[in-house]
Amino acid sequence: MTINKFEIEVAGKKLILETGHFAGQASGACTAQYGDTVVLATAVMSKNIREGLGYFPLLVDYEERLYAAGKIKGSRFIKREGRPSDDAILCSRMVDRVIRPLFDEKLRHDVQVVLTVLSVDQENDPDVISLIAASCALTISNIPWQGPIAGVRVGQINGEWVLNPTYEARGKSTLDLVVAGIDNKILMLEAGASEVSEDTFLEAVNFGQKHLKNILKLIKEIQEKIGAKKEIIEFGEMTEDEKKKQVKLEKKVKDYCQDKIKSIFKSKTKHEQQEAITRLKDELEEALKKDNDVSKDHREEGLEIVDLLYEEEARRIVLEDEKRVDGRKIDEVRPISCEAGILPRTHGSGLFNRGETQVLSVITLGSPGEEQFLDTMEETGKKRFMHHYNFPGFSTGEVSPIRSPGRREIGHGALVEKAFKPVLPDKEKFPYTVRVVSEVLSSNGSTSQASACASSLALMDAGIPITNHVAGIAIGLISDLSNPKKYKILTDIQGVEDHDGDMDFKITGTKNGINAIQMDTKLIGLDIEVVKEGLSAGKKARMQILEKMNQVIDKPRPELSPYAPRIYTIKIDKEKIRDVIGRGGETINKIIEQSGGPDVIKIDIEDDGTIMITSHQADMAERAITWIKNLTHEVTIGEIYEGVVTKIVADRNSGNEIGAIVEILPGQDGMVHISQFSNQRIMNVSGVAKVGDKIKVKVMGIDKERGRIELSHRALNSQAVARPEAVKSQYKSKHRNNHRRFP
């Protein structure tokens, strides 16, 4: 194979596309390198058609390799990569949404794009690089595709636009946007933001779109130099006789169904319309059976034509009558109802209804130690806010097996999670781990955005101090396929408008601005004007929804649920952390065990000495707090304690008892010299104190260098308390007298 290398500069770094080095048997293959991040993209199309399939079978897989980051999997028993991480699934979905519209939807050959991350430099995210690599691999392959496409990332730091910011720069940015497109059209937008305005977001899109041109130009040059000839796929071209029969069949179906389809749209609910379509198909099938000119195969085609006529009528109603399939105006939001606090024992709950879409979100509060640990190719750390989205079959009236979350569930969950990041309290203010689960109970479009609304209600119900309510809306597009300039923007799309429409523009934010966006289209790109109108419609609808939500609950509840755990925070000297933990965790495990056990109490220790005790039982938490405070207390001269005698000390040479060791705090003890027990002279310590006795003592002196604490019981019974220096002098005088007495 001949190795070909092409490069341009993007945002001050080289973007290098290389072909002919790897994966020679793939239909198309290339590596994309940006900085030291390298992604291999391969594209393969099967030779055979998938018979009986009603959709184009495209599969995009994003493969993280831990070796790319110099890591070995943390599990003791499994060292190879397992199921894809959420980040990998999200990247696969992003690439899929960009490249899919540029395939002919009649294609029934399997097409697979595999993106393998070979190297990551911890500065440049592989996701946009994967997008470019996939575009190049498909463009130079024999696979019929209308690319290339290109993508860039846009950030904003201190009011300045930044192209392809590093991970570090993204942490300082108020906006994290990925723009993908073809020529002057936009195919996909994906963004997280901190309540940015619609105008600012539109500027970001324009900025990103300008920088797509050089990347597109490079890939086209590569195609001209080394690209394979595109395969011509026969989509079952009909003979003239078959075409006549098809036209005749279409006329029969249209004559029979057209007026009936119009009447279907008088039904307002999804269920009523679906039932009406089913009845119409049954009636049509019976009518076609009586027609001797229509074969069985043509009867099946006739039933498929009903769906096309239904879609055509839906488009006509919007474009000509400016009405929706459910009778709404094109900018009208479906009826909304909200509830908060509807479940008795959970830590917080919210129910959001919009039309026939219904989502229940439930909050669970946990200790800081219950954070999710992240250990992926790109990221190592913890996550304290999690949003999980469930979409069972009954939500659409269907039978569907309950399995682990699919790509759609993970994608919707992540989008809502992104929308709440700007409004969540800091860990210092609210140290809890928060898990939100959104259960879709009924679906007729825009369940992800309903999940955002339900989650916001639940978070406020739980007493979590979020700064603002978050609401989401899905904006759609119906266009005249013969005239792209003729279109209508739809507010709050439902199922049929999503399925048969041309755009799904999810916009989530607060009263102050946008927090998250996800947009894709079935068309070969959208004009910036469509994006602008979509943003405007989204803002108007979001404000209407927020008003409804605020009528139910407009600020976080002042108190947490009585069933939620409480977190008590104390701060200790970080040098004392080892005293709390103990050898091999012995001390902290003892504290937990004697404060109710791990089911009752959890203790988390930060490196800076912050200790968080989490418990449902205040008395057990107080016990642990007192224990830790005593363990880490800095003893000072003059303090009085009631301690326990743990040992009688004898002189190593003479064997005479010279004092007693008294534990004044857990892990801290001092010595009471024989002379400090009484104002009267005593001969044996054991005559006045035994191991296990409780005794009140006063701290008289501290020798930090030798780790010794001098205690006195006598000082508590004396009118005049000797100073530490006097005590030391007394010890010396006594020693000298003894020396003289016993030479």
pLDDT digits (tens, 9 = 90+) for 93-106: 999 999 999 999 99
236 falls in which pLDDT band (50, 70, 90)? low
Higher pLDDT, 218 or 71: 218
Would you say residue 494 has pLDDT above 80? yes
Nearest to 18 by CA among 34, 2, 33, 5: 5
pLDDT at 368: 94
**How many Cα atoms occupy the beta-carbon half-sphere of 115 within 13 Å?**
32
- Look at residue 743 and tell me whether its pLDDT is greater than 70: no
| CB contact at 8 A, 319 and 488 | yes
Q: Is 173 helix (H, G, I), strand (E, B) or coil?
A: coil
pLDDT, average across residues 166-191: 96
Residue 217 DSSP one-character state: H
Q: Which residues pair with 442 in a beta bridge?
A: 358
Q: How far apart are CA 339 and CA 420, in angstroms?
A: 19
Crossing angle for the helix pair 407-420 and 447-461, to the nearest 10 degrees: 50
Task: Find where tokens 């209600």 sit.
Answer: 457
Say if residues 645 and 691 touch (Cβ distance below 8 Å). yes
**pLDDT above 60: residue 718:** no
C-alpha angle with apex 184: 182 to 190, nearest 5 degrees? 60
Task: State the average pLDDT over residues 663-674.
Answer: 89
CA–CA gap between residue 659 and residue 674 (Å, rounded) = 5
Query: Please, what is the average pLDDT of the chain?
Result: 90
Is 90 exceeded by the pLDDT of residue 732?
no
Query: What is the rounded average pLDDT of the residues 84-89?
Result: 93
The mean-pLDDT minimum among 49-53, 91-95, 264-268 falls in 264-268
* 114: pLDDT strictly greater than 60: yes
Listed range (44-53, 70-79, 325-334, 528-537) with the worst mean pLDDT: 70-79
* Confidence band for 731, pLDDT divided at 50, 70 and 90: very low
Poorest-confidence range of 289-293, 497-501, 655-659, 667-671? 289-293
When pLDDT is averaged across residues 85-92 and rounded to a whole number, the result is: 94
Which run of H or of E encompasses 543?
helix 528-552
pLDDT of residue 682: 86
Q: What is the pLDDT of residues 575-611, one digit of tens each?
A: 889 989 999 999 999 999 999 999 999 999 999 999 9
pLDDT of residue 119: 97
What is the model's pLDDT at position 329?
93
- Among 287-296, 470-479, 535-544, 707-716, the minimum mean pLDDT is found in 287-296
Kindly state the tokens that stand for 85: 């991480």
Cα–Cα dist 649/659, whole Å: 5
Span 495-537, pLDDT tens digits: 888 888 999 999 999 999 999 999 999 999 999 999 999 999 9
Query: 635: alpha, beta or left, given left = phi > 0 and alpha = psi -120 to 50?
Result: beta
Kindly indicate the confidence band of residue 484, based on its pLDDT and cuts at 50, 70 and 90: confident
pLDDT band at 89 (very low <50, low <70, confident <90, very high): very high
Q: What is the pLDDT of residues 425-473, one digit of tens each?
A: 999 899 999 999 999 999 998 999 999 999 999 999 999 999 999 999 9
**Closest among 643, 645, 635 to 701, alpha carbons compared:** 635
pLDDT at 714 over 50: yes
Least confident of 321-325, 358-362, 368-372, 613-617: 321-325
Q: Could you tell me which residue, 653 or 386, shows the higher pLDDT?
A: 386
**pLDDT tier, 226 (very low <50, low <70, confident <90, very high otherwise):** very high
Total-model pTM: 0.87
- First-to-last CA distance in the chain? 100
The yes-or-no verdict on residue 348 having pLDDT over 80 is yes
Lowest-confidence pick of 305-309, 557-561, 735-739: 735-739
Looking at the chain, the whole-number percentage of residues with pLDDT higher than 90 is: 69
pLDDT (tens digit per residue) in 195-210: 999 999 999 999 999 9
pLDDT in tens, 541-561: 999 999 999 999 999 999 999
